[in-house]
Structure 1
């Protein structure tokens, strides 16, 4: 996950790798949870494990599975939006095409590119033509600016999604290690009760880590609302879009086709 100016950027390859880790990790974690109660049942049946310890181990095993299942369901819930960053990335890429097209039009119809020697053509028609061209160029340029802003914000949102799921992948990896350690502690029957409590003690911490990441992601996406408002303002800005519409390319003043050389290559006729 790369960064630019302190902001998370999106890498499709890294995102796919992270999601692969999460998918594999959730399956492994679920399989490890399934081993906990059988391990407690097995050790509790041993002759050297007294009744009190056996009941304690059974209780710890059940609570471990209960807490682990709740965490697993929580992780599955946050994975429901896992495809969103990919679509954001794809849409961001498409908006760069819109930006390029709009900026190309803006550059092509600037007064510099459409300048006509006023020694051959002058008057209100000439001035109206250049004025209309400038308005078209400004409007197309504004579309390019809006497209760039949309693309940038979509990419930042995708990057935030990647950062969030990196945290989730890390938590899952930690959970797998801890539930495996708890199962081993239960099976050993040597300080098994103390060792088995490792997972229960860390369960709340791991859940809080994901919840904190969810909160951070929500806060970041909340700031994007301001970006949407700004984009709306740019889209309806009367500077480039008079009365909220595309500037008129026609003018009643085009009927003034004053020429100065007395022998124009073209002329306007009523």
Structure 2
């Protein structure tokens, strides 16, 4: 289920998180330089801390760029949600037309209107009612698919937000370990050890999202096939949205759409 308010909150959290993560990465190498310059830190340990710091920043930058890459698609779920809303409006309008022009609603008791003209009109109206109902059904299914896609986008970015929060905590822990110098090498490795896991978490989420969206694309292709299928519509075409096809007002010249025959 997609919530626009929740989605905007998650996106805001990611935006703040990426900026915080970038700022924390900028603190790693200065912390290593400061620690390795202390008199009590052996040269070999200082070089190790600086190597860990450089590797941490390099890996962190790669992960950050990866996150910023997937972040480029954040507007898509919002547009999907908006389009789903519009398709539901279309569904309501089409179903309203379908209900209004049913034979039952068009037949008036004790009416003076009778004969072949009345029968032809009601026959045409029944077909148009069914066609309008078909449009309503297609609109609803399209809206449902768009909402599912928007919801999948929300779930994906929730995963991304969680990974960023974990990355920030780990790079802060690594920087703290580097700064202490004493017994810091093992603690400083925390980011390097978990970086691949965090990257894999996002990559897996990307794969799941791509597979889901692929399924939805197939569903929308099927919907397109139903929309252009002439079987569901009168005379094999979508119902006309205006009365242009009935502009011949004569009734007895033998060539009008509404021509009467004796």
Comparing 247-256 with 134-143, greater Cα deviation is found at 247-256
CA displacement at 1:120 relative to structure 2: 4.4
Comparing 91-100 with 21-30, greater Cα deviation is found at 91-100
| CA gap 1:244/1:193 in 2 versus in 1, 3 angstroms | farther
Answer whether contact 1:124 1:253 (CA < 8 A) is retained: no
- Cα distance in 1, alignment partners of residues 239 and 36 from structure 2: 82
CA distances 1:141-197 after superposition (whole Å, capped 9, x unpaired)? 111111111111111111100000000000000000000000001111122110011
Answer whether contact 2:24 2:168 (CA < 8 A) is retained: yes
- The answer to whether 1:68 aligns with 2:68 is no
Q: Which residue of 1 aligns with 2:251?
A: none
Q: Which residue of 1 aligns with 2:250?
A: none
Answer whether contact 2:132 2:239 (CA < 8 A) is retained: no
1:6-155 aligned at under 5 Å gives the runs 9-117=1-109, 120-155=112-147
- Cα distance in 1, alignment partners of residues 52 and 44 from structure 2: 12
- Cα distance in 1, alignment partners of residues 236 and 207 from structure 2: 37
Answer whether contact 2:127 2:234 (CA < 8 A) is retained: no
| CA gap 1:242/1:107 in 2 versus in 1, 3 angstroms | closer
- Over the aligned positions, Cα root-mean-square deviation in angstroms equals 1.9
- Cα distance in 2, alignment partners of residues 133 and 237 from structure 1: 20
CA distances 1:126-152 after superposition (whole Å, capped 9, x unpaired)? 321111001111111111111111111
- Cα distance in 2, alignment partners of residues 128 and 253 from structure 1: 9
1:215-226 aligned at under 5 Å gives the runs 215-226=207-218
Q: Which residue of 1 aligns with 2:220?
A: 228
CA displacement at 1:246 relative to structure 2: 2.5
Q: Which residue of 1 aligns with 2:230?
A: 238
Answer whether contact 2:128 2:234 (CA < 8 A) is retained: no
- Cα distance in 2, alignment partners of residues 151 and 210 from structure 1: 28
The SS at the match of 2:232 is: coil
The SS at the match of 2:146 is: helix
- The answer to whether 1:208 aligns with 2:200 is yes
CA distances 1:16-54 after superposition (whole Å, capped 9, x unpaired)? 110111011001100100000000000000111111111
CA displacement at 1:123 relative to structure 2: 3.8
Structure 2 unaligned residues grouped into runs of 5+: 247-255
Structure 1 unaligned residues grouped into runs of 5+: 1-8, 258-270
The SS at the match of 1:70 is: helix
- Cα distance in 2, alignment partners of residues 18 and 121 from structure 1: 62
Answer whether contact 1:22 1:169 (CA < 8 A) is retained: yes
